[in-house]
Amino acid sequence: MRRKCLFGEVGGLERASDRVDWDGVLGGEKDTDSLPVPIPDSLVKYVISQADMQKTEPQRVEAAVVCSIKDVCVPLPDKKDSVAHIEPLVVPQEQSEAHQLQRPVEKQSEQLELKQLRDDQAAQLDRFVAWTSKQKAELEAQQALLREQLKAGHSTAPEELEDAHNAAMAEAEDKQVKAEADMRTSHDREKRDNVTALKHMEAYCAGKYSSGELHHRCVTAQDHAELDKTKRARERMDGRHESAINVLRGEQSRRMRMRAQRQEKEEQELRRVQRREELELERSFGQEMAEFEIEMPERRLRLEGRWRLQAAVMTKQLAVVPVVPVFLAGEAKVSSLAWQVEILDDRPVALGATEEVRCGTA
């Protein structure tokens, strides 16, 4: 049964001190003038070209895992420049045992640090949720206050407008009453003037003064005609005055109806304006709430990004399985980082002769 030797990413990890003197292993002496000894076919596991190996290898090598004869694997330092082969590093058994004894202590420390990170993230999440709830409550309270103020203003505006209309109607009615009173006064004065003129004209046409003495003047037909005209005016005066009063009242009624119509239009316009203001206020409230609902998830995403970064840094420092942030617990896991070791059992690896001898077969 062949024992598999897993190598990590190719890095510049070859050291001169770890190279094997193949001439000594094969039993021959090193001769610089002689031709190189070919590798037996039994020692060659895979044969691939350098171009194929570059296609299959990742562009950045973060870690490499080497395997000793006793299956002891240790991480090697990172190297930027790729090389064709990696010489294995044989770890002494004493160092491996000391490392295994140190693992529980390191694991306990790592667990404490991971637990502290989770607790910090949970506390930060609680503060964020509380802050979000507080901001939303303050926004809703401010909107409710503005809504109440608008409703209070809208409730008083119709009353104020109605009071103004009533005052205007009362003033118009007072003016109408005054106009009718002035007209009646003028009618009374006209009637008195007519009575006085008729009395003097009748006395003149009778040939006497108003005192009863004769005036000895010649009374003509024209004077009698004027007397008859004054009498007819007197007879028609009451009807004419009554008609004038009716005309005045009709005009006043028409003006009052027009005024009432204008007031009704003003009230309707006020209601439309108030409704428009309410809709505009609600639209602004909806826009503010929508912006809030968009901003809070963005803030949460930025916070989660910082948590992922903290988890990645902690994982990098502790070289353990990536930490699952508290907000992703039970939902998703942090994706493996590029520097983590990826064990590919079935992946073809170009091994040199030295590696084949070190790994061997079981």
Over residues 131-164, the pLDDT tens digits come to: 999 999 999 999 999 999 999 989 899 999 999 9
Q: What is the pTM of this model?
A: 0.46
Per-run averaged pLDDT (10 residues), the chain, 362 residues: 40 42 44 51 55 54 39 42 42 51 55 85 92 93 92 90 92 92 92 88 78 75 86 89 92 93 94 93 92 92 91 80 48 39 39 44 40
Reported as half-sphere exposure (CB side, CA atoms, 13 A), residue 190 has a value of: 15
What residues contact 277, with CB distance under 8 A and at least 6 apart? 150, 154
Q: How far apart are CA 88 and CA 65, in angstroms?
A: 9
Q: Dihedral, CA atoms, 197, 198, 202, 207, nearest 10 degrees?
A: 0
Planar angle of CA 164, 170, 171, nearest 5 degrees: 90
Q: Dihedral, CA atoms, 211, 212, 217, 220, nearest 10 degrees?
A: 100
Over residues 221-250, the pLDDT tens digits come to: 888 888 888 888 888 888 999 999 999 999
Residue 89, pLDDT score: 45
